[in-house]
Structure 1
Amino acid sequence: MTARRIRPSLYVSVDIEADGPIPGPYSMLSLGAAVAGRHDADGFTPADPGELTFYRELRPTGEEFVPEALAVSGLDRERLVAEGAEPAVALAEFCSWVRSVGGGAQPVMCGYPASYDWTFLYWYLIRFTGSSPFGHSGCLDMKTLYATKAGVPLRAVAKGTMPRHLLPRRPHTHHALDDAIEQAELLADLMAWPGPGSPP
């Protein structure tokens, strides 16, 4: 019996900045993405995370916002009302970009943690494009990946508890593209890490 051919996955690190905790009442203000690597039957091959990237700042979809959430990114909401990309245009461009970098692989969104960014990204994709290049479940949470490899409870995971050699060299700036690139570095390190007790 012939083994079923495994279709490769393309890992796309995604980070979003938003002005509140959930999509709908609140808005995604920026979207950054970076190709982190490709995973096939032979294993994971990291990419240069700064090479294939995407970034857009979006017009808010409503009036509500949480000042503390807005302050995290430092984005000027009034400027985005006037100058931000229309969400339907930005998300269509994002889908085209994902297809262009895929090379026949199945795209997988990855984030740290994925839950917040995936919630906004998937909601925006379905609302403004009607579909998702990642399907309905094509996301990988790096906190879960670390917890599984390290053998620790998920709620015990924080970057400060990880071995230093796994952490990205780039800073976490709360700029969506910077952070997507930083997360792509973290994914590559996690994928290569055999687990606790291994040399750095």
Structure 2
Amino acid sequence: MSARRVKPSLYISVDVEADGPIPGPYSLLSLGAAVAGRQDADGFTAADATRQTFYCELRPISDEFVPEALVVSGLDRDRLVVEGLEPALALARFTRWVREVSGDAQPVMCGYPASYDWTFLYWYLIRFTGESPFGHSGCLDMKTLYATKAGLPLRAVAKRTMPAHLLSRRPHTHHALDDAVEQAELLANLMAWPGPGTPR
């Protein structure tokens, strides 16, 4: 296939807050997303991460939770039992939003690191909507992207060791939308970064 005919990708930064380590026994409580940019045969174009965003809070699906997880997110689980969206409705709205912002591009979920957020997101999408707008593998891990560009072992990577100019200036608040926007800016910086030892 000609490089000029490759379908573009739309990178969507996603952050979730949950009340435990795995979906099923534990619940996804909030979901934030922000369009980070678009990549086609001509390269990557960053987006304004605050312009196209999604946020929702969900009703828990079980009575189990890890108290420490709630401390991190600051979410009130009792409130979400009453006020949170039903997961099927929340994930249907999210899927519709992903398809609307993606247009003719293929959506790609991205996160730092993506593994935890993808685990919850994909499980919830399949469980409550029966499908994923990202397919089964449309996931980009920013930690791996940095490790590859920096020539470092993956387990040696942490945000505190990354060059400051790659990081977003936004604080990491553990609010899903705030963190999705922060990560979207990180992705844009990583995509533009040629690697260590090169001019900015």
Residue 198 of structure 1 deviates from its aligned partner by: 1.6
Cα deviation code 1:57-109 (max 9, x no counterpart):
00000000000011110000000000000000000000000010012100000
Secondary structure of the residue aligned to 1:75 is coil
- 5+ residue gaps, structure 1: none
Residues in 1 aligned to 2:131 and 2:29: alpha-carbon distance in whole angstroms: 20
For 1:151, the equivalent position in structure 2 comes to: 151
Identity %: 81
For 1:35, the equivalent position in structure 2 comes to: 35
Residue 33 of structure 1 deviates from its aligned partner by: 0.2
Residues in 2 aligned to 1:26 and 1:81: alpha-carbon distance in whole angstroms: 13
Cα deviation code 1:12-34 (max 9, x no counterpart):
00000000000000000000000
The RMSD of aligned alpha carbons is 0.8
Structure 1 outlier segments of 4+, above 3 Å: none
For 2:2, the equivalent position in structure 1 comes to: 3
**Given the alignment of the two structures, is residue 77 of structure 1 paired with residue 81 of structure 2, yes or no?**
no
For 1:116, the equivalent position in structure 2 comes to: 116
Residues in 2 aligned to 1:3 and 1:113: alpha-carbon distance in whole angstroms: 32
Secondary structure of the residue aligned to 1:122 is helix
Residue 169 of structure 1 aligns with an amino acid whose one-letter code is R
Secondary structure of the residue aligned to 1:10 is strand
Residue 136 of structure 1 deviates from its aligned partner by: 0.2
Residues in 2 aligned to 1:151 and 1:139: alpha-carbon distance in whole angstroms: 21
Residue 166 of structure 1 deviates from its aligned partner by: 0.4
Q: Where do residues 45-60 of structure 1 align in structure 2 (5 Å cutoff)?
A: 45-60=45-60
Residues in 1 aligned to 2:156 and 2:186: alpha-carbon distance in whole angstroms: 18
Secondary structure of the residue aligned to 1:140 is strand
Residue 194 of structure 1 aligns with an amino acid whose one-letter code is P
Residues in 1 aligned to 2:198 and 2:81: alpha-carbon distance in whole angstroms: 50
How many residues matched? 199
After TM superposition, the score normalised by the length of structure 1 is: 0.98
Residues in 2 aligned to 1:3 and 1:38: alpha-carbon distance in whole angstroms: 19
Q: Where do residues 1-200 of structure 1 align in structure 2 (5 Å cutoff)?
A: 3=2, 5-200=5-200
Residue 3 of structure 1 deviates from its aligned partner by: 2.2
Residues in 2 aligned to 1:116 and 1:198: alpha-carbon distance in whole angstroms: 32
Residues in 2 aligned to 1:181 and 1:11: alpha-carbon distance in whole angstroms: 12
Residue 87 of structure 2 aligns with an amino acid whose one-letter code is P
